[in-house]
Structure 1
Amino acid sequence: MSRPVESTGTVESDDLHDRNLNGGEGLDPDVSTGKVVAMLGNPNVGKTSIFNRLTNLLAKTSNFPGTTIDRRIGRVELRAGKTITLVDLPGMYSLEASSPEEEVARDFIAGESEKAPDAVLIVVDGTHLQRTLVVARQALQHGRPTLVAVNMIESARKRGIEIDLTLLSRKIGCPVVGVSARTGEGFDRLKSQLEVVLAGPALPVLLPGCEPESEPTVAGNALAADTDSEACGACRVCPYADGHQWATSLARESTRGALVASDEATDRADRILTHAWFGLVVFAGVMLAAFSLVFYFAQYPMEWLDGAFASLSGWVSSVLPEGDFRSLVTDGIIGGVGGVMIFLPQILILFFMLAILEDSGYLARAVVVVDRWMRRVGLPGQAFVPLLAAHACAIPAIMATKVIENRRDRLVTIMVIPLMTCSARLPVYSMVAAMLFPSQPLMAAGLFAAAYALGMLAAFVVAFLLKLTLLPGEPSPLILDLPPYRAPSIGNALRYAYERGWMFLRDAGTVILLISIAIWVLSTYPKLSDEGFEASLASNNVAVETLSEPELENMRASADQKYAIIGRMGEVVAPVFKPLGFDWKISVGVMTSFAAREVVVSTLSVLYGLGPEPENESSLQQRLASATNDDGTRVFNAATCVSLLVFFVLAMQCLPTQAVTKKETGSWGWAVFQFVYMTLLAYGAAFVAYQAVSSFT
């Protein structure tokens, strides 16, 4: 099969290098160093993959002015050091503003919310041209210089679809470039055509079947949006006419071979993967396999990081003189931040696996499987995308519920989103799994999968109860385009994992660091005097001469912590959490985690790291696993570990999420309700889990 012919839409101009590129108003000044290009397209056309490859991860996420809707902004390096700003708009099927995302995208392209972009880059799917070209027509009608990127061009060739890009360019009236976000094919030409579009005048649009008797009326390179005028010579063309007919006609004229990719093997696979029961079994198996790989591949780098932080702490101890400052650095900073950082490999591998599953087209099939059960409990099909996004962070997931038009459906989704396992919970899950199954990756993966499943099951139960009580009604149906199966891009998955890992590191370097220092201060001051320590021993009928030196040091460290502010706080809250199997240190960790869930790990690392250095142990993870109560029993026994895991799966420990809930619902009442029901649910479930495991151990 011959390769598709590349469009030559316009002639490249070397004058571009002599021009000054102006920054876009309203954009972040650190990325707005060139002309602004808006990037849009349907979901599942590979738009984000193209954005990642063009920007090389030199991107940041911000909100549209006056909204909470995200857009990604990045720099694209062109020739001779020229830079443009690329704005990745939300995926959409139309610019007719039926949702908040479509409205802000339309306003941005039209220049109504801020400075209009200098050009528009439209991404369409080469295997489904007739479906994905519709939004291209609407974008062209805004009169911006436009470039069309036909993605998945290599998949189209393999499936017998041959696209005449030159003909497609002539019919649309703008340059068309065939690219592959997976292999990188066509990206050099894509960059050069971006320069062309930004530098020179665009061509007029000629609609399929319209050969004008005279020059058409144009605006930029698109038809003028005048519903009462003769827009195409002999034909009366309305910009609000059926875009699907236009797209189908255009795709038919410019495509040889199959119009839409079809594969009997794909259909057979879908019959299994989307089956009501077999699909669930496959979904559970895929998730279990993914988690097993996470633990199998992460155990070695985790051990290296754990040992590295322990070595760093030992080196600092040998350099700095004994005293509070050394304790602050080793126990507060290294112990607190290091206790969370050792879980970075698991986070990176987990998000890499999720990116692979999404890029392969499987996650869309999982949507179909889960939707059947979601609708039965009162969750709308449109909620799956926010629920999936919540596995990264609940805050953008709650913001993403704007795509759900029905208020009842939107409220139900917001109420259950925090029950999904976000990345902030992963360190807690990993800590518990490592202590329960230190050398059994498969068992640890099963525990990890069970934690995810518990969160989803709880969300379904809560949604069903809301359907029966506060928010009655039937949810809206799901309309979803299934993307084709494709070989996932390892490069894109690595970029996505890197991005999520960097966000985790950024949090560890700010919030976790500050809270770790605060915990150390509260755990160190005020100091217990020698007289006070001797008095406490006497009150407990303990004779100093009967204690060995290590025992005396351990008792002194414990007495110091209990005398400090945090010990007094722990004694106040400990009775509340004692039925869950938590000692006062875990109770303090739970309280501090309401600022941010992952802080509990750093808090426990600081609290259990203070005191004499244990013999024959070199890692922070081992110190937590070997912590003992006053009676010599292990703190983190099986019952306590399971109870702690269940509590963190279900509890609302994220104040920023509460603030976003208030903003999106317009009421503190819903935010308070969310906090109260999740706290009671977490406490009750953790109590049952602790009692159940205790009875069997």
Structure 2
Amino acid sequence: MAVSAPETVTHGRVAAQAVARVALIGNPNTGKTTLFNRLCGARAKTSNFPGTTTASRVGRAALPGEWLTEIIDLPGLYELSLEVPETRIARDVLSGAGLYRQPDAVLVVIDACNLTRNLVLVGELLAYGLPVVVALNMIDLAQGRGLTIDGRKLSERLGCPVVPMIARRGEGVDDVRAALAGALSHGRTPDAAPGVPGEGASIETLTNWADDVMAYSAGRPSAPHERDAFTERLDRVFTHPVLGLLFFILVMGGLFYTLFALATIPMDLIEATFARLGDFAAQILPDGPVRALVSQGIIGGVAGTVVFLPQICLLFFLISLLEDTGYLARAAFVMDRVLRRFGLPGHAFVPLLTSSACALPGIMSTRLIPDRRDRLATILVAPLMSCSARLPVYVLLTSLLFANRPLYAAAAFSACYLLGALAALGTATLIGRTWLRGDARPMVLELPTYKWPSLRNAVFTAKDQGISFLQTAGTVIMAICIVMWWLSAYPQVPPPEQATALRARAAEPSVSDTQRAAWNEQATTLEVRASQRGSFAGRLGRLAQPVFAPLGFDSQLTVGILTSFLAREVFVSTMSVLVGGSARADVDVGVIERIRSATRDDGTPLFTAATSASALVFFVLAMQCLPTLTVTRRETGSGRYALLQFSYMSVLAYVASLIVYQALRSGGIP
């Protein structure tokens, strides 16, 4: 995280011409990020803290007195004394350790509805001797519960400014700016407030002090408020072992229906735009390798990355809304009972379900998991969930396996999803006992208050995640696509004699337009097939065929398998071309019939029942998505986890496919 140094800094105050630094900190679900967006808006960027994969947001805020201020949004945490990555980062930033420069002031956001719990963190922050400004957020919700808080008394006991505010509506934000400007100008008051615990105070001491401050500055309602009773009724449903799980399934089903229904339109638009762009590049550039590289390699590589952008942005937009309402914490509480049996935390449910649409945003959403061990375990197993890219392959292979038996095909299709989920849970258990030893961290969770979500906050979250995806994954993915294009395009081979003869016949004047188009299409298919077989990728397929022979794969199927390691969905188009069809990527009846009638070199059927079942299991379990490996490396900060992910999924897929094929053959099924 690159942050500029100040021009002038004096003890206890910062000169007005300096770039002042403010650390923004608070408990989770206190509205910290909402306040950050109010202060910085679009003048923010997302980056990682030095030497970590923990994301931060850094923004510029304009304060009264012409202050140029840099605000660092630290990870949400409950106590600075906890030994987790987030608290270690916060302690290093606050003390100016290592690569960090100590902030000139601290802005701490606290929830007015959970004052005692939040004041524990405030007490720890006061011990650092930095100017502190307290933003007392959600004051409206506290008043709605009959809780009155005297900001003047609270400020008196803390010895620092306290600003009541409602971040989601922007009320009190200007007062926060003014308080920060004052803190930067004058530094901390010389005399600390009486009774504030000093450095190294125990949590018990801080909690007792927080209770005393609460009793002095806030008036509690004499009886439970009506809204509290309503909240308790909601929690009894949302956290119930059965009703909570059913409601969770309903909410997640609605989320993913919305994701598929709304993201399809911009995704189709992006694909069409890049297709036109590729055609335009092919028209204006002279025929040759440069035109092919630009139109197919570069533009195609960029399109393969950008097409995921609508899903990613919409997903994080919806997740942000759910988090703001307070429901996401309840859902994590419910799922924690289930997932912890397999070594995963309750927080893993969002990444795993998201991976059912696409593993890329699923892995990126593991940033919601606070513990690094749990985060790594979730990242490693997320690609085992069946994503949308597998759907064309599932449709093809189940149709081949159960021709004219739709009920059996539907059951096999559903079994693919079940197999992927069971493999993910089983692998998580294995990883927890080997590579990442230990159990999932018990989820200590304070259920936040229910409130209306902030659309502004959700939009900024979606924007940040979208930009992060393009910046961190886009360039690498494009480079991979260019390399794979080169392997598939070279060396160039002359067209086969049959294709040349067809084109010559099509050029005769007496041929009808319909026949001419058919012969030209057939010649193109033969040329593409010959080009693929003669390319480096095709030669690699024939070289690797003995390895895949025990799974029932011939050289054609091996080429399809190898090319699908770039992206699973290209398997259908590759097989269609190799068996004499067109290069279409969709799965229609014609494609299925052509592939069903394909034969091996010896004339026997290519896709027997045993081979189809073997290939189906392989595609369920194998890691066949280079963009996913790229994102894994980015999110874990190390290539070894991407290598481990690729290795164990490939071995698992191979072994399971081998067992299925050999068992069916032994049972008399060809």
Q: Distance in 1 between matches of 2:417 and 2:384?
A: 9
Q: Distance in 2 between matches of 1:81 and 1:634?
A: 75
Q: CA deviation at 1:243?
A: 0.9
- Quote the residue 1:115 is aligned against: 101
Q: Distance in 2 between matches of 1:639 and 1:355?
A: 40
Could you tell me which of 174, 199, 217 is aligned with 2:185?
199
Q: CA deviation at 1:136?
A: 0.5
Match of 1:73, SS state, is strand
- Quote the residue 1:216 is aligned against: none
Match of 2:526, as an amino acid? Answer: M
2:385 aligned with 1:428 = no
Q: Is the 8 A contact 1:124 1:132 kept in 2?
A: yes
- Quote the residue 1:160 is aligned against: 146
Could you tell me which of 481, 485, 490 is aligned with 2:446?
481
Q: Distance in 2 between matches of 1:428 and 1:363?
A: 27
Deviates more, 1:45-54 or 1:66-75: 66-75
Pairing 1:121-160 to 2, within 5 Å after superposition: 121-160=107-146
Q: Distance in 1 between matches of 2:415 and 2:113?
A: 38
Q: CA deviation at 1:248?
A: 1.9
Q: Residues 682, 326 of structure 1: CA spacing in aligned structure 2 closer, same or farther, 3 A cutoff? A: same
Q: Is the 8 A contact 1:170 1:206 kept in 2?
A: no
Could you tell me which of 521, 528, 532 is aligned with 1:550?
521
Q: Distance in 1 between matches of 2:447 and 2:418?
A: 24
Q: CA deviation at 1:160?
A: 2.6
Q: Is the 8 A contact 1:573 1:587 kept in 2?
A: no
Deviates more, 1:255-264 or 1:552-561: 255-264
Match of 1:245, as an amino acid? Answer: N
Match of 2:479, as an amino acid? Answer: L
Match of 2:59, SS state, is strand
1:180-201 Cα shifts (integer Å, max 9, x gaps): 3322222222222221111113
2:238 aligned with 1:252 = no
Q: Residues 125, 392 of structure 1: CA spacing in aligned structure 2 closer, same or farther, 3 A cutoff? A: farther
- Quote the residue 1:461 is aligned against: 426
Match of 1:102, as an amino acid? Answer: T
Pairing 1:269-668 to 2, within 5 Å after superposition: 269-379=234-344, 403=371, 410=373, 414-420=376-382, 428=389, 457-465=422-430, 477-507=442-472, 509-530=474-495, 533-534=496-497, 548-573=519-544, 579=551, 583-584=557-558, 586-591=560-565, 593=566, 623-625=585-587, 628=591, 631=594, 646-647=620-621, 654=629, 657=632
Deviates more, 1:41-50 or 1:546-555: 546-555
Q: Is the 8 A contact 2:614 2:657 kept in 1?
A: no
Percent identical among aligned pairs is 36
1:515-541 Cα shifts (integer Å, max 9, x gaps): 2222222222211135xx33x879xx9
TM-score under structure 1 length normalisation = 0.72
Q: CA deviation at 1:254?
A: 2.0
Q: CA deviation at 1:49?
A: 2.5
Q: Distance in 1 between matches of 2:481 and 2:624?
A: 24
1:123-172 Cα shifts (integer Å, max 9, x gaps): 11111111111110110111001111112223223333332222222221
Q: Residues 187, 604 of structure 1: CA spacing in aligned structure 2 closer, same or farther, 3 A cutoff? A: farther
Q: Distance in 2 between matches of 1:322 and 1:589?
A: 26
- Quote the residue 1:234 is aligned against: none
1:670-696 Cα shifts (integer Å, max 9, x gaps): 98766543323344567899999xxxx
- Quote the residue 2:172 is aligned against: 186
Match of 1:98, SS state, is coil
Q: Is the 8 A contact 2:622 2:652 kept in 1?
A: no
- Across the two proteins, how many residue pairs are aligned to each other? 607
Q: Residues 419, 314 of structure 1: CA spacing in aligned structure 2 closer, same or farther, 3 A cutoff? A: same
Q: Is the 8 A contact 2:109 2:134 kept in 1?
A: yes
Match of 1:147, SS state, is strand
Q: Is the 8 A contact 1:331 1:606 kept in 2?
A: no
Q: Is the 8 A contact 2:168 2:454 kept in 1?
A: yes
Q: Distance in 2 between matches of 1:141 and 1:366?
A: 36
Q: CA deviation at 1:311?
A: 2.3
Q: Is the 8 A contact 1:61 1:73 kept in 2?
A: yes
The Cα RMSD (Å) is 4.9
Pairing 1:63-142 to 2, within 5 Å after superposition: 63-79=48-64, 82-113=67-98, 114-142=100-128
2:652 aligned with 1:681 = yes
Unaligned 5+ runs, structure 1? 1-19, 25-31, 211-221, 228-237, 405-409, 438-445, 594-598, 693-697
Q: Distance in 2 between matches of 1:452 and 1:568?
A: 33
Unaligned 5+ runs, structure 2? 10-16, 399-410, 507-517, 599-606, 664-670
Q: Distance in 2 between matches of 1:641 and 1:302?
A: 28
Q: Residues 339, 374 of structure 1: CA spacing in aligned structure 2 closer, same or farther, 3 A cutoff? A: closer
Q: CA deviation at 1:291?
A: 0.8
Deviates more, 1:337-346 or 1:455-464: 455-464
Q: Is the 8 A contact 1:182 1:489 kept in 2?
A: yes
Q: Residues 584, 475 of structure 1: CA spacing in aligned structure 2 closer, same or farther, 3 A cutoff? A: closer
Q: Is the 8 A contact 1:45 1:151 kept in 2?
A: yes
1:411-467 Cα shifts (integer Å, max 9, x gaps): x774453212599x9673687799999xxxxxxxx9999998866543332344567
Q: Distance in 2 between matches of 1:120 and 1:181?
A: 17
